Amino acid sequence: MRAALLEKSQESLAVVNDIIVEDPRPGEVLVKVSHCGICHSDLTVVDMPGGGQLPIVLGHEAAGIVEAVGSGVTRLKKGDRVMLTPLPTCGICYFCSREQPALCVEGQSFMTGARADGSSPISRDGEFVYQAFGLGGWGEYANVVERRAVKIDEDTPLEIACVIGCAVQTGVGAVLNTAKVEEGATVFVTGLGGIGISIVQGARLANAARIIVSDPVAERRDYAANFGATDVLDPTQVDVVEKTRELTGGIGVDYAFEGAGHSQLILDCMNATRSGGTTTMVGAALAPLELPMPALLLTQEKKLQGCLLGSCNSHRDIPRFLALWRKGALDLESMISHRHPIEDVNVGLDHMRASRGLRHVLEF
């Protein structure tokens, strides 16, 4: 099959035609991928110094059509349209039984880039190739466990739906599932890429009274305003913490969300929240985070929490988000700023490095 392959870190990807994909084993499905987003997490893997799991087919925001199913597969059949999720849930482990699906023991296999037995369904010239996040959506085919594929309605456009896979699940889920923002709350969002804009959409869905956003890129601030932000700040021109407090009567926001993975932005969020407020870290960090937090932040009962894929149960939340899209409450079309053929994967990555556009989608 054709795929975008990362062979060496911090170098361009090669689009190759000789990746071998296995037929599905029992419990697996083979999906012919039509569209896959470029997520900042993919860029983090490409630009990460020191290597890692290589060679690897990246991509984890994919949609496509089931090509074949292995024995024992009961929920899906050939021809079904599906969304693929980077974090499948088993439904029965310690964490699933406590309604913490993103922490599912089996779902954590997305970190290995391989099957549970250590093998990979894809190879090249007889050599092992990793399947990023257990998915490898930048290949024409993805061979995945059945629970990683979520069936969607036949009339759902795959090029639109694919952004739910990571960006929308993570951002909207961070608001509705992780932070549980209530109606009338005040919200601050910093970092307005695909994740940040999805956080803005989540805050709008939660009926937040005020949605204050910050990003140094003018284009992204404009996007945020169109998606529901009430106050748009340029951090190169104003002190965003001071301005956020001013906009909330000197109190600070109830909830803050960091969408870029930077230590200073996390501190800004914590300083912008009121006493007892909550900061949720959503962005994927490239380097270790260092947070020199003043003790005063703790004595004010401020809370700092992590977030993985918006604490989503994909089999519950993907249909829920598609239903919201169908009724016009969630805007997926405007999330996609650029479409690229798979051959232009490096162009899309360069756009992301330069913070151009919002969501870039690769097409097969």
Contact 107, 85 (CB under 8 A): no
Q: Which pLDDT does position 299 carry in this prediction? A: 84
Please confirm whether the linkage preceding 55 is cis (ω < 30° from 0): yes
Q: Which pLDDT does position 63 carry in this prediction? A: 97
Partners of residue 130 on adjacent β-strands? 56
Is 287 a residue whose pLDDT tops 70? Answer: no
Q: How many CA atoms lie within 13 A of 346 on its CB side?
A: 9
**50-54, 187-191, 215-219, 228-232: lowest mean pLDDT where?**
50-54
Domains of the chain: 3-165+332-363 (3.90.180.10), 168-310 (3.40.50.720)
Nearest to 64 by CA among 33, 86, 42: 33
Q: How far is CA 304 from CA 159, 206, 275, in A?
A: 35, 20, 12
Q: Which pLDDT does position 280 carry in this prediction? A: 97
Q: Which pLDDT does position 51 carry in this prediction? A: 64
Q: Which pLDDT does position 116 carry in this prediction? A: 86
Q: What share of residues in the chain are helix, strand, coil (percent, to 5)?
A: 35, 25, 40
Is 80 a residue whose pLDDT tops 80? Answer: yes
Share of the chain above pLDDT 90, in %: 84
Contact 244, 272 (CB under 8 A): yes
Q: Which pLDDT does position 296 carry in this prediction? A: 67
Determine the residue type at 122: I
Helices (H), 207-332: 218-227, 240-247, 263-272, 295-299, 314-326
